[in-house]
Structure 1
Amino acid sequence: MTSETERKAPLSRGICMGWGLGTLGPVTVLTASNVLLLRYLTDHVGIAAALASSLIAFSKLLDAFLDPTMGWLSDRTRSRMGRRRPYLLAGGVLLALSVVGLFSVPDIADYDLRAVYVGAVLVFYALAYTVFNIPYLSMPAEMTTDYHERSYIMSFRVYAVGLSTIAASVLGPMVLAALGGGSDAYAKMALVFVPLILLSAWICFRATRHAPFTAKPDSTHYPILYQVKSVASNKPFLVLIVIKFLTLMALGVQSVFAFFFTYVLKVSDVYLGQYFLCSSLAMILSQPLWLRLSRWSGSKRNTYIAALALSLPAYLSWLWAEPGQPVAFIFLRAAVIGAAGGGAILMGQSLLPDTMEYDYLRTGLRREGLFAGFYTTVEKLSGAIGIAVVGAVLGSAGYVQSMGSGVTQPQSAIDAIYWVMCFLPALISLLGIVALLFYRLTETSLKATTLLSPIAAPTTDGEDFPALPTT
């Protein structure tokens, strides 16, 4: 690894690729849980839709409040491997254990005990995701200070997100279909994911050993509540987390896809896998286009708006989907939604290190982990709400849970699935566009921000910290 003073040379492609591949593990588990877990819990574990979605939401909410603490811990870590890299290996192992637990719920006769077990495993998974993801997301801001190079780094993460989606939502449903779709099939599917999760964590750890990094944390100790207050003074970051809160709700809404393909389109999980294969390939192949559009326009914000706008007609078109519809229409929607999602993910992730750099220029402090912690908190809150909304809507519409036997759903449940599939993600995208209009941090304004010395600590016990310097 190189020191903070040796960052002027462009990052090698190997470092960027290796760092990007690190997201294979967490996003594979995240996608599998978003797309398949709710249906697994309702149709094979026998948990009611409203309760299952509430357990998922509760685990995310509980862990969300620990994310800033994890970020603060990684900021304070001292290691010859850097502040962040040790957590990559630990988080990878924990994620591998969690995916097995999520899809291998034992046949517990008592309904309440079964629900308690599911809740405990969900909390363990949420903690495992935090241990890996927060230090991981903190690394790009340390690796480069170049505005457009951050987008380049993040493009490799989006490539990996596409591969992760293929693994979880393409390979996963295909494995389920090949094994008959029972509860044992879900357990075997989870075992297929384990080597991928462990390998991606190891590759990321090894590839970033020569990456630029902050040599050591600042020696001054600031109370966590004061740091939270100072983070809140970073207006671009506040706007960003509002945007991400809105747009990341779509991840939780993804849980409706499995229901839509089964009960509306009436096709097997093979078609669900093919849909996500097409969507993921579009996400991957669209990355050069979004990078060029961002550089040509000079605005990540406007590129982000364009990506969200592209998704609107595709989401609304699901209203006309029905059994027997030509497969070409399904795959066309997949391509448009995948390409739009690729642009939204790339631009959203690229804005995060920009706000971290803005904080450093304003305060002189290197605390990327704290910002990543708050960012991930919002990610989990939005995902929890998205899944909770899906479960609540299905439950209120009379969706019937089971333990593996096929059931006929009432028309009210089918109508609810249509509503969630069409209108909810379109509304989320529209609100995200509105929120983006308030984001004004640009390459020019970053360059105009003068690097300041670290904020001064209080001189006497109990004295308030001085106000943050402004530019």
Structure 2
Amino acid sequence: MPTLPIDVPAAAPIAPALDKRTMIAWGIGTLGPVTVLTATNALLLRFLTDFYGLAAGVAATLIAVSKFYDAFADVGMGVISDRTRSKMGRRRPYLVLGAVLLAISIVAIFAAPAFASETMRLVYMAAILVFYATAYTVFNVPYMAMPGEMTRTYHERSELMRWRVYAVGLSIIIATAIGPKLLDWFGGGAQAYAKMALVFTPIVVGAGVIAYLGTARAPSAERVTTHHTIGQQITSAAGNRPFVILVVVKFITLMSLGTQSIFPFFFERILGVSNSVLGYYFLCQSAMFLIAPSLWLWVSARVGKKATFLIALAISLPVWLSWALAVHGESLALVYARGIVNGISGSGIIMMGQSMLPDTMEYDFRKTGLRREGLFAALYTTVEKLSGAVGVALVGALLAAYGYVQSRGAAVVQPASALWAIRATMAYVPTAITLAGIVALLGYRLDERTLAEMSDLTPPTS
């Protein structure tokens, strides 16, 4: 693996285990970005097509382009946080700044001015989506770098990520269960989206502040001075095989998150149910994020993170395929049962993927001596953005190709071809994505034993 010659201090002694209060506070921090991310993934495409008057292909392209921009901005933010010097640590100052920017962005998106000109609507939304992408990066990259500094052992990372998964579950409830219910309560029109965003705002800011205050005493690593370019560091990081495989798996599996934007279309056009039913579906799914993490932690301690990850992926396959058989008027109990199984699966996928990331950071430090958690977090979240961009672009492309008709709140009868595209995107696309993720994950080799064997090594010096 390529290494970079640098001057580094001797390996630091093992820090005391993180206390539960710190873990909980850090986990709560994810409420902000995940609430905004989930709300935009699930609700934005329909808002833009059915209430803001943009064509499906155009709306999906706008979202995808903003995510591509965000992906490349991640690397810059990662390097900035790695190089930051502050009494508050390299990462913590960005938690509050990013949270405030995220709160502004979600209101600006869903309370967008109703310009008469489609060109003006297009320009405005393009600018705001770039602003939102920047805000998300400012918070999320430093935030996801923190576990690499805060934790010191293989299973402590899983324990820390368990609290993040709990917060992810709450975020999904807020964005996709409470969110659609709020839309109904506020009348269901374009103004309902604006009012929903205002409800989310204090949650986003409050979560960032709690994470900032609650991690004040968490271990953090000092900046290690290096004169190597970003390109050289990325090239070196590419030699970290476990990290490369992990980000490939991340890219593949998170494409399904981007395709989640098909849910509102499917529930209305195929199942013929209201926003409230969609909200209850996501409530069932996200409730499992509050129940299942302890189960996945138990499984991981016995069979390892990789095997646990594979199990979590596999149990979602029959659920995705079953949507191909769903019909108008189908039993809601069956609909909600799918949400429960997908919630169990999703909690395991997120928990294992996130807990394996700091393992690869520790592996990198032992190999190179570099403290560049920000760069690794940036590359990891870059893949998250790219996969989401591909997923939502795929949804928009399929809807556009098969004749989906946009509107500005008026009822529109969709052609049979568009209905078929909605069904195929709901069932067959995520099935294929999940199978590809399973195949990619089989090549991952980093485990507790490997890290234990490296624990007595001193990072290279020059």
TM-score under structure 2 length normalisation: 0.96
* Contact 2:94 2:142 (C-alpha < 8 Å) held by counterparts: yes
The residue number in structure 1 matching 2:369 is: 364
Q: Deviations over 1:263-297 (max 9, x none)?
A: 11111100010000000001221111100000011
**How many Å separate the matches in 2 of 1:278 and 1:355?**
33
Structure 1 residues 325 and 154, CA gap change in structure 2 (3 angstroms): same
Q: Deviations over 1:360-380 (max 9, x none)?
A: 000111110000011111000
Q: Which one of the candidate residues 228, 233, 238 is aligned to 2:239?
A: 233
Q: Does structure 1 residue 43 correspond to structure 2 residue 50? A: yes
Q: Deviations over 1:209-236 (max 9, x none)?
A: 011111x201232211111111111111
Q: Identical aligned pairs, as a percentage? A: 54
**How many Å separate the matches in 2 of 1:367 and 1:223?**
13
* Contact 1:245 1:381 (C-alpha < 8 Å) held by counterparts: yes
The residue number in structure 1 matching 2:161 is: 154
**Gapped runs of 5+ residues in structure 2?**
1-10
* Contact 2:289 2:344 (C-alpha < 8 Å) held by counterparts: yes
Q: Does structure 1 residue 142 correspond to structure 2 residue 149? A: yes
The residue number in structure 1 matching 2:7 is: none
**How many Å separate the matches in 2 of 1:244 and 1:190?**
28
* Contact 2:30 2:168 (C-alpha < 8 Å) held by counterparts: yes
Q: Does structure 1 residue 10 correspond to structure 2 residue 47? A: no
1:408-447 aligned at under 5 Å gives the runs 408-447=413-452
* Contact 1:7 1:212 (C-alpha < 8 Å) held by counterparts: no
The residue number in structure 1 matching 2:190 is: 183
The residue number in structure 1 matching 2:265 is: 259
**How many Å separate the matches in 2 of 1:132 and 1:220?**
24
Question: How many corresponding residue pairs?
Answer: 451
1:87-106 aligned at under 5 Å gives the runs 87-106=94-113
The residue number in structure 1 matching 2:290 is: 284
Q: Does structure 1 residue 382 correspond to structure 2 residue 363? A: no
Instruction: Describe the SS at the equivalent of 1:431.
Output: helix
Instruction: Describe the SS at the equivalent of 1:287.
Output: helix
Deviation at 1:107, TM superposition (A): 1.1
Instruction: Describe the SS at the equivalent of 2:290.
Output: helix
The residue number in structure 1 matching 2:378 is: 373
Q: Deviations over 1:302-350 (max 9, x none)?
A: 1000000000001101111111111110011000011000000000101
Q: Deviations over 1:74-100 (max 9, x none)?
A: 001000000000000000000000000
Deviation at 1:8, TM superposition (A): 3.3
Deviation at 1:454, TM superposition (A): 4.7
**How many Å separate the matches in 1 of 2:242 and 2:17?**
26
Deviation at 1:68, TM superposition (A): 1.1
Deviation at 1:7, TM superposition (A): 4.5
* Contact 1:364 1:451 (C-alpha < 8 Å) held by counterparts: no
Letter of the structure 2 residue corresponding to residue 359 of structure 1: D
The residue number in structure 2 matching 1:115 is: 122
**How many Å separate the matches in 1 of 2:302 and 2:367?**
28
**How many Å separate the matches in 1 of 2:461 and 2:167?**
38
Deviation at 1:171, TM superposition (A): 0.9
Deviation at 1:443, TM superposition (A): 0.7
**How many Å separate the matches in 2 of 1:6 and 1:206?**
25
* Contact 2:270 2:419 (C-alpha < 8 Å) held by counterparts: yes
**How many Å separate the matches in 2 of 1:375 and 1:130?**
12
Q: Which one of the candidate residues 319, 325, 334 is aligned to 1:329?
A: 334
1:198-217 aligned at under 5 Å gives the runs 198-214=205-221, 216-217=222-223
Q: Does structure 1 residue 355 correspond to structure 2 residue 353? A: no
Letter of the structure 2 residue corresponding to residue 115 of structure 1: L
**Gapped runs of 5+ residues in structure 1?**
457-471
Instruction: Describe the SS at the equivalent of 1:439.
Output: coil
**How many Å separate the matches in 1 of 2:377 and 2:354?**
11
Q: Does structure 1 residue 57 correspond to structure 2 residue 70? A: no
Q: Which one of the candidate residues 271, 286, 294 is aligned to 2:277?
A: 271
* Contact 1:151 1:291 (C-alpha < 8 Å) held by counterparts: yes
